[in-house]
Structure 1
Amino acid sequence: MAREQFQNLTEPMYYILMALIDERCGVDIMSAVDEISNGRVKVGPGTLYALLGKFEKEKMIVETGVDGRRRSYIITEKGLNILKEEYERIMILLRDGKRFLGGMVNENRK
């Protein structure tokens, strides 16, 4: 069920799961996403906590601690497998794009 729901991860989903390879709380996850994506992807609190709830429900992440209102999470083996599958899917897209668009992309940038 989870793989169908998360067949193709959105960029925020992908980067949040990557950020959770290390244990982090919400604020640290947002900061890590910003850092990992070189500032290209921004995740606000509403998006973050909605996705964390979905990921936790599907056992892709697990809550590791609570300190007041601060909750920490880490990716599970199931979540890591989904993240790796998405990485492989993206690599296939890149290979196909390079094969068919490789020369055209550089020409259009001039």
Structure 2
Amino acid sequence: MSETAFYILLSLTEPSHGYGIIKRVEDLTNGRLKLGSGTIYGTLTKMQNDGMIIVFSDEKRKTIYEITKLGKNVMQAEIGRLKELHTNALSLEEEFK
């Protein structure tokens, strides 16, 4: 999973529109990751096609996105993978100093 996709799904702990997702990702990463509209909407479309998110509502030009059960399952698996990666990196960190 790309970092962009990971943070988009991570930001959807509650339904949100595109700009809200962009701001939440910036907050989560302390400004390190700034998503452009082309990047976020392309990724949201792919995630919607893959069944990881759904359009919750469409109010006055603001499309609200919500994570699905599949999206939550994908995030649980990805978080587990990242925990393993982190544990392994820490165990061998001294080898690279």
Normalising by structure 2, we get a TM-score of: 0.93
CA distance in 1 between partners of 2:42 and 2:10 (Å)? 17
Residue of structure 2 equivalent to 1:45: 37
Aligned residue type for 1:34 = E
1:29 CA displacement: 0.5
Q: Where in structure 2 are the equivalents of 1:49-88 lying within 5 Å?
A: 49-88=41-80
CA distance in 1 between partners of 2:13 and 2:73 (Å)? 12
1:52 CA displacement: 0.5
Q: Which runs of 4+ in 1 moved over 3 A?
A: none
Unaligned runs of 5+ in 2: none
Matched, 1:97 2:85: no
CA distance in 1 between partners of 2:73 and 2:31 (Å)? 25
CA distance in 2 between partners of 1:53 and 1:66 (Å)? 15
Matched, 1:18 2:10: yes
CA distance in 1 between partners of 2:24 and 2:89 (Å)? 28
Unaligned runs of 5+ in 1: 1-8
Between the aligned residues of both structures, percent identity stands at 30
Task: Find the residue that maps to 2:33 and give its secondary structure.
Answer: coil
CA distance in 2 between partners of 1:104 and 1:40 (Å)? 27
Task: Find the residue that maps to 1:49 and give its secondary structure.
Answer: helix
**Count of paired positions:** 97
CA distance in 2 between partners of 1:104 and 1:30 (Å)? 37
1:48 CA displacement: 0.4
1:68 CA displacement: 2.3
Normalising by structure 1, we get a TM-score of: 0.83
Root-mean-square deviation over aligned CA pairs: 1.2
Task: Find the residue that maps to 1:39 and give its secondary structure.
Answer: coil
* Contact 1:11 1:41 (C-alpha < 8 Å) held by counterparts: no
